[in-house]
Every structure is written in structure tokens, then in C-alpha cells.
């Protein structure tokens, strides 16, 4: 019994010495946030009808004679170029779905850029 209590006291003294000698030390420095890094990307999606845009479905409206009728769903696969000119370098392609949801040819698009 005496050996156990002596061993317990030795462990307690050792642990208390470790806690005293290893105190946390740190200088408190003010926080200075770094300016955010901004990357400006400039590319142009050349959208035109033909092989790159396919009408998937459209509403059965007989009175609408516009080129882009209301409620038309179109799949697109257009070239992504470095400039607005049609002969500029192709850097990727744009794939997605366009929904013509307005009576004035406004559309909602879901597109994915592939480089």
C-alpha cells in the first residue's frame, strides 16, 4: 500500500512539473487580412444557330410565329473563343441548355464551360 501511494505522489509531482515548465506562450499580433486575389477572365461564347443549337422541345402554340417561340428548350454546344471575332482562337466549348421563357425572347440558361 505504501509503495502505491509513493508511486502516486511521484507521478503527481512529475505531472505538475511538466505543466509548470510547458506554459503556452504567444505574442498577440493584430490581424491584417491580405487583399483578395482577383483573376479576370475574358472569353466569348459564339452562339449561332445550326449544328451547335438543337431545339429539344417547344410548346404547341400555333399563334406564335416568332423565330424563338415561347417555352422552347434548346441544347447548345458553342465554341468558346478568345475574342469577339469569328476567326479568333478557340479555347474550349460551351455546353448547356437554354430555356426561352419570356414572350420577348428572354432566356434562362444553364451552361458549362469546358477548357
Provide the 10 A C-beta neighbour count for residue 94. Answer: 19
Whole-angstrom CA distances from 50 to 57, 81, 90, 106 are 16, 18, 18, 20
107: pLDDT strictly greater than 90: no
- Nearest Cα to Cα of residue 109 among 74, 57, 59, 79: 74
pLDDT band at 26 (very low <50, low <70, confident <90, very high): low
**Residue whose grid cell is 487580412:** 33
pLDDT at 34: 92
pLDDT at 24: 62
Residues in the chain: 115
pLDDT (tens digit per residue) in 66-105: 666 777 888 888 888 899 888 889 888 888 888 877 666 6
Read off the pTM: 0.50
pLDDT band at 46 (very low <50, low <70, confident <90, very high): confident
State percent of the chain over pLDDT 90: 7
Question: What element of type H or E holds 16?
Answer: helix 2-21
Amino acid at each position: 500500500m505504501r509503495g502505491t501511494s509513493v508511486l502516486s505522489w511521484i507521478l503527481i509531482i512529475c505531472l505538475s512539473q511538466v505543466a509548470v515548465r510547458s506554459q503556452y506562450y504567444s505574442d498577440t499580433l493584430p490581424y491584417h487580412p491580405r487583399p483578395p486575389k482577383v483573376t479576370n477572365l475574358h472569353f466569348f461564347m459564339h452562339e449561332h444557330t445550326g449544328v451547335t443549337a438543337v431545339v429539344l422541345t417547344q410548346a404547341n402554340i400555333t399563334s406564335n410565329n416568332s423565330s424563338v417561340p415561347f417555352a422552347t428548350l434548346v441544347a447548345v454546344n458553342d465554341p468558346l473563343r478568345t475574342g469577339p471575332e469569328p476567326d479568333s482562337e478557340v479555347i474550349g466549348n460551351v455546353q448547356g441548355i437554354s430555356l426561352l421563357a419570356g414572350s420577348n425572347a428572354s432566356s434562362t440558361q444553364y451552361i458549362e464551360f469546358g477548357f
